[in-house]
Structure 1
Amino acid sequence: MSKMYEQGQQDSAIQYLDKATSKLQLTAVERWSLLNTKTAYFLKYKKRPDSALKYADSLIKVVTNKPDLLNQYISALFVRGDVLMESGLYDDAYVRAGKIAKSSSKCYLLSSKLAMLRYRQGSYRQSIPYFKKGFQEILVCIDTTRFEQAFVLPQSLLNTLGLCFEKLNQPDSAIFYYQKAIRFIEEREKMFPKRKQFALMAKGVIYGNMATVLIQKGEFQQAEQFLLKSIYINSKKDFEIGDAQTAKIKLIMLYNNSGQNSKAAQLIKEMEEASPSVKNQMSSESILKFHYAKWKYYERIKNIPKAYSNLERYYFLKDSTETASKNDEYVDIEHGLRDADKAQLIELLKKDAQSKRLLITGAGIVIILIFTILFMVLRNLKRSRTNINKLSVSKKLIQNQYEQLTQVFKVLEKSHKENAVIMKVVAHDLRGPVSGMTNAAELMLSEEGLSESNHQMLNLVKEAGANALSLINEMLHTHHALGETEPTDLYTVLNDCINLLQFKVKAKSQNIVVAADHIIVSVNKDKIARVINNLITNAIKFSSVNSTISIAAVKEEQEVVVSIADQGVGIPAHMGNSIFEMFSENGRVGTASEESFGMGLAISKQIIENHKGRIWYTSTVGLGTTFYFSLPL
């Protein structure tokens, strides 16, 4: 059947399909595939949207209320939206599909559909960003084995982008995208050698469009060559006859304006004597323009009766078209999607509130830890009375800080809106007493004559204090706003972070390799340094001795992408993106038993997203992990 389609035998292919499946008991997926094929057949090849709509409705019914066929359900809603757009109608098909598709990882190319809707409504300037985003989505989601995805849709988006700029009277931008479409066709047609006819037809359409722009620029001779080339290609049997007729009308107007009356008369005669099958392929817009071209031609040669006849016919058709256009309701499809975004935002706020409760719980644990450490210190003070005077200051400080913390938590209970600010105060105030406690333990360890048990106990106090300080430092970097940004050399930030962490690298005999240029980005330097520090620290922590850590910064069209790759233990697939959650239960110890608190990646994600960037990773267990983050240029 696919061979029949490729050879242009669509009618035979559908008949063969009906015969082959008439006596079979089809599964839901098989029935969905059959109905999807028939919808496309009636919409694209038979140009009968009414029949296509019936099959599209049946397509939706087949997969409705089947959770395991969610992808097919969304695709069916989009197909129905395509049919309604071709009919000049609209309902909530795209909105319903868009709400579900926005929460799915599968590519549904929603941007290209929104772009085409805006274009048909005449909102050319508003459609341009959607066309550009749609083209990028296709490059990411493309299935190179499917002709429709890998060839037809991408070149169509580039061509229509050119049309948008043409209608906005920006000829240079229009030519840029037309030429880009031609290059794309020439590159991709090698992948589909059996579809050379379609590739040639597509070129013919674009040649005709380029001619229009060249006429706008006053380059009439070159425009004539492109129109003749377009007509030569698409006037052939089974090619785009309708587009060839459109090109002829453009050429007639060119000859009219340049005074080449004989050539204009010859083309008018050819079009009027064309067979009914050729005339039937002319769109209503082409028919309208043909009458306009004839009106101007007969007016130029002083044939007033024929000029008046075509003028009258032109305005009659123009009024009918404008009346129909006024009845087309402008549909804001994004309104429904924005409602979906609001619902999603509410869900995110709930999760944020949950994370704040977890932070409060964490702070409570830290307080308990303080009391435990205080008890241990006091017990050891009784055994070493010579140090009582030194520790009494720390004791009073801890008591004062505890009273302050009690007041802070009373305020925290009164207002969830101030959770982030309060948490910063809590962590900041905790850092002083814990640091004092750790220093006191270190001072006591320096004394001679300690028993083995006292020495072990003080080491425990010192290590517990160091871990508490690490946790507090992590908490201090949560819920931060972006702050001020400035032009920053990313290469310099990378090197500064690497130099700061060299002692950890040397401790594990590791090696860091950097491949980065001097790329200037507008960021908060300290916060980006924090992200880089977190990711390199993780790479060191989860990599074995004598391994290599590779760091790169690559400048792309609209962003810079930084990658940090290790040769460590890797991240199991079941952890997924939960590693970016605050206080994730997926925390693991490093290859040298280094401790993790589960906050570094969550803080990094928050910082990068505040910069309008992205953060993600790829990993293979046992081979290593590569973390990426992007920053807009």
Structure 2
Amino acid sequence: MLPTTDFLQQALDVSPQTFFVYDADAGRMLFVSAAYEQLFPDLQRENATTDLPRLLAYLPHDDQQYALHCLAELIAGNHCDDLLLRLQPHPNVPLRWLSMQAQRSLGPEGQVLLSGTLEDVTVEQEYLRNADKYMAKKNTTLEILSHDLAGPFNMLQQLAEFLEERTKTLQDEQVQRMLRIMRDTCRDSVTLIRDFVDGEFMDSANVDFKPLRVDLVQNIAQIVDTYQQGEHLVAKHFTFHHSQPTIYAEIDNNKFLQVINNLVSNAIKFTREGGNIAVGLTQQPDHVLVTVADDGIGIPAHLLPVLFDRFTKARRPGLRGEKTTGLGMHIIETIVRLHHGRIWVESEENVGTTFYIQLPIPTRAPGVDASTS
């Protein structure tokens, strides 16, 4: 074991975190603190080196590949963010979340050492992921309600404007005043609804960027499912297609799901009743591709080059007169860039529009596979 003073040994052993030092050249653990046996009750700290393949097998396959990639990056001297890994030794045991922080250093003989901590963060992760889940559901529900509520107000506003024009010949100032009040009230109500929803989007975009490794299939499915439950309110059909059961990416969950939510909301604005909106998710060797497609009225070709500009001239009211600030697409592009991704659009008038979001994913280091210990 790694030599330490008695004082340091005692300090490390009373900590709830598991401290470790790993000799990457020799492939063995030099030190693990006493919390190791609390973190893994069926293992003993003196067997930490021989337990490494067993610990790797405790991780789901996707997490194994992710952990091995980060291990190879650290050994090579490259930066690797703190690892957040799922742990499930047996199918009938509840899933746990482990946070691992590690850094590279050189030992007295020039050997590569990885030292750091392991900590059970299951309670924190369940809280954060439930909060993200309900935040996404709240934002989606707000979008559905905004379209559902704005529709009648827009119709009443148009009716008031029609009646105001047709009753001018009556020269009845009281009737004209009541119709103006009706028109302005409807317009202000639509503006209030849209401002509230837009405000929620802006607040989400301004929160600090905190990426985590998440399953995009599960998270996007929750958004689409909420829209599907509200199909009768917005008179559109929603579908979600994905290339495989789980697809992982490192994203700020709240921000990125708000991007998807906003793109779907825009598709609703410019798609006629009975139209279709499809969300797609595909895993590629070095990236994840997300698509949001509709068969709506499309975007005129001359507006496409300026669509993502700040206060873009491409802003248009929706088919029901829905308001737009012109900031939405600019913020969406900014959030995608924060994820080191890119977004682009293809559209044809009266055929439909498809937005594409490409997100990078870590590539596995050469020579690293699940059998590495």
TM-score under structure 1 length normalisation: 0.27
- Whose strand proportion is higher, 1 or 2? 2
Q: Counting helix residues as a fraction of each chain, which structure ranks higher?
A: 1
* Bigger relative CO (Cα 8 Å, ≥ 6 apart): 2
